[in-house]
Amino acid sequence: MHAIKDYLLADKDHYAGHVDPRFQDLATQFSRFQHARSDAGGAALTVYFQNQKVVDIYTGQKSATEQWQNDTLSVCYSTGKGVLATLAHILVSEGRLEYDRPVAEYWPEFAQNGKDEITLAHMLSHQSGLFDIRHLIDDAAEMADWSHMLNVIAAAKPRFQVATDAAYQPLTFGWQIGGAIEKATGERLADLMQQYLVKPLNLDGAYFGVPDSELQRVARPIFNPKSTAQTAKSSQVRKPSLMEKAIEKSGQNPQDFQDAMIPKGMSKFNMFSDASLKAIIPAANGVFSAPSLAKIYAMLAQGGHFEEQQFISAPVFQRLSQVQYTKRDRVMPLPMHWRLGYHRVLSLGKSSKGFGHIGFNGSGAWCDPERGLSFAYTHNFPTGSITGDYRLWGLTQETLRCADQVLKGSKGWF
């Protein structure tokens, strides 16, 4: 009830930036969601519609002493998976990578422990069986060593035979896809990002491994000392979370969730330290601005084209956007309708045939090619949810509704 009261009494204009009048209701909702907690963090929202940027707004605190700016960067957790997948699709379009070729042909060491038949398509659709991180490394700090983690993945044994099941890969996805990309091209992931995404799209803020020169742009969480102390105290005698209880009651194995999500020593790993921000952990620590994310998905919303440039060929776009797996997988509590590196758009009721990816902190980015629409929401609030929170779902819902008002003459709820 407290959140509802905060929403209803909130300032409707608590943001800076540009809004197309057709999307004013979305900006109002963004303001209401952020206003009551603006001293605890900040957020940004960018939307493209029919090749034009129609929303580009931000609000709140970048840090305890700094206001959010139009070029502020955010750690976006799994939202970065969609960006990494997009890079892979561009490379497939360029003929530098193939979906159905065994990855071991690019990366011979990867063939260990029965992985000789795993393809890029299996990895992208979470059907490789390589979802377990908890039993692969002894300490979460190892994740910051890119070369080491590629060796770990190369030596790993799948938990199930390839393509016989699906299990979301919260952390291992990045080393699988990133490793395949580097081994196939012989080039560094950072260089490929610059060559195929950052420079052609003129992105101002999209990193897997933040350069020293850009660290000051990254928003950091603003923790309440009291809540931090309570969290530390409660973690000493840990009870099953509501999510874990729900997973167990649904018939899923909570151990699969834990093995996929929580490496040993994760409680001591600070994702926001300078060292972690500079590390390459593509499935979890991608750092982006909302405008950069929205522009990447604006290209996808146009079928792989943007401003007279073709990034992804028509056959590749058709393949990447096809649903590969409709059932609930071993880790996620909801059916995600996995494409090649993306999942369905999650809203409060509005249907969409689009796709994208959300992050554990409730950030998210997606496209809807039928509507010519793309969306990106970033923030630095210290929250966590594997399926996003009500703000992300609500902003997605209102974005779709505003677009439908233009396209159909009526917003509707479904």
- pLDDT tens per residue, range 114-151: 999 999 999 999 999 999 999 999 999 999 999 999 99
Judge contact between 115 and 158, C-beta under 8 A.
yes
Torsion angle of the four alpha carbons 125, 128, 132, 135, in this order, in degrees rounded to the nearest 10: -160
Among the residue ranges 55-64, 226-235, 272-281, the one predicted with the least confidence is: 226-235
Domain 2-74+289-408 in CATH 3.40.710.10: yes
Predicted confidence at residue 331, as pLDDT, reads: 96
Residue 232 has pLDDT above 70, yes or no: no
Among the residue ranges 6-15, 80-89, 276-285, 381-390, the one predicted with the least confidence is: 381-390
pLDDT over 90, % of the chain:
86
How many angstroms separate the CA atoms of 355 and 369, rounded?
9
Both tokens of residue 169?
Answer: 């890969």
Give mean pLDDT, residues 258-269: 96
Both tokens of residue 227?
Answer: 């809540």
Mean pLDDT in the chain?
A: 93
How many angstroms separate the CA atoms of 112 and 116, rounded?
7
Query: Residues with Cβ < 8 Å from 337, sequence gap 6 or more?
Result: 323, 325, 326, 343, 344
Terminal C-alpha separation, the chain: 25
Predicted confidence at residue 248, as pLDDT, reads: 64
Judge contact between 206 and 288, C-beta under 8 A.
yes
Give mean pLDDT, residues 390-396: 95
Q: What are 297-339's pLDDT values in tens digits?
A: 999 999 999 999 999 999 999 999 999 999 999 999 999 999 9
Residue 53 confidence class, pLDDT cut points 50, 70, 90? very high
C-alpha separations of 174 from 15, 82, 85, 180, 292 in Å:
34, 10, 9, 10, 19
Residue 234 confidence class, pLDDT cut points 50, 70, 90? very low
Highest average pLDDT, of 212-226, 300-314, 376-390, comes from: 300-314
Query: Residues with Cβ < 8 Å from 179, sequence gap 6 or more?
Result: 107, 110, 150, 153, 154
Query: Residues with Cβ < 8 Å from 13, sequence gap 6 or more?
Result: 28, 31
Q: What are phi and psi of 317, to 5 degrees?
A: -65, -40
pTM of the predicted structure, to 2 decimals: 0.94
Residue 381 has pLDDT above 60, yes or no: yes
User: Where are the chain's structural domains?
Assistant: 2-74+289-408
Residue 235 has pLDDT above 50, yes or no: no
Predicted confidence at residue 382, as pLDDT, reads: 87
Torsion angle of the four alpha carbons 148, 149, 154, 159, in this order, in degrees rounded to the nearest 10: 140
Residue 280 has pLDDT above 90, yes or no: yes
Predicted confidence at residue 247, as pLDDT, reads: 61
Residue 224 confidence class, pLDDT cut points 50, 70, 90? confident
Both tokens of residue 356?
Answer: 């994208």
Judge contact between 206 and 198, C-beta under 8 A.
yes
Both tokens of residue 92?
Answer: 């497939």
